[in-house]
Structure formats: structure tokens, C-alpha cells
Amino acid sequence: MLFAFIALIGITSVFLLPHRWYLWLTVLVGGAALLVTWHTKNFAYLCPRCGDVFEVSMLEDLLSPNGGSKKYVKCPQCRKRAWADILRIKEQPIHKK
């Protein structure tokens, strides 16, 4: 979703307003930051190894590969990387570490 957003803005910026590229860059960076912030705050991850539910940092959220309903992140409980199920925080009880 994030990469689709960046690609869309990138393509649009090439065809529209090429002389105002810096405005598009601002929109791109701001929009991506908002999206990642929103995503980081609203989603948690369920470890397939130990069943722990955890949140990740904004940087990890941005850098980790996302595969639809799963995300490749490091579990703070068993300290191993795995394809964790993505959960909406509002629907799941979270215990903070």
C-alpha cells in the first residue's frame, strides 16, 4: 500500500507540474510519514512462533516487507523474524512491552 502510494505520486509528479517537483516531494514525504505514523499506531502483529502480540517501531514498520495480511517483522518475545499476522489494534488486546 505504501509503495503503491509512492509510485502513484511519483508517476503523477513526472507528468504533472514537473517544474514544481519540490511541492510533490513535500507531499510525498509528508504523506508517507502520515501513512506510516497511522499504520504504526493502528496495527499490531501476532507472532506465528510464540503467539505474542506486539507493536513495531515506525522505522521497522517502514522497512519491513509487507505481504498482504502478513508482515515480516522481528518478535520482541522470541527475538526471531517471522511473517506475523497484522492485527488492528482496536480489535485486539495489546500488552505493551
Q: Which residues of the shown chain bind Zn ion in the complex (CB under 5 A)?
A: 47, 49-50, 52, 75, 77-78
Q: Closer to Zn ion at the Cβ: 24 or 83?
A: 83
CB 59 within 8 A of CB 36: no
Closest contact distance (angstroms) between CB of 50 and Zn ion is 4
CB 53 within 8 A of CB 76: no
Handedness of CA 62, 68, 72, 78 (dihedral sign): positive
Q: Closer to Zn ion at the Cβ: 52 or 85?
A: 52
Q: Closer to Zn ion at the Cβ: 28 or 82?
A: 82
Closest contact distance (angstroms) between CB of 83 and Zn ion is 12
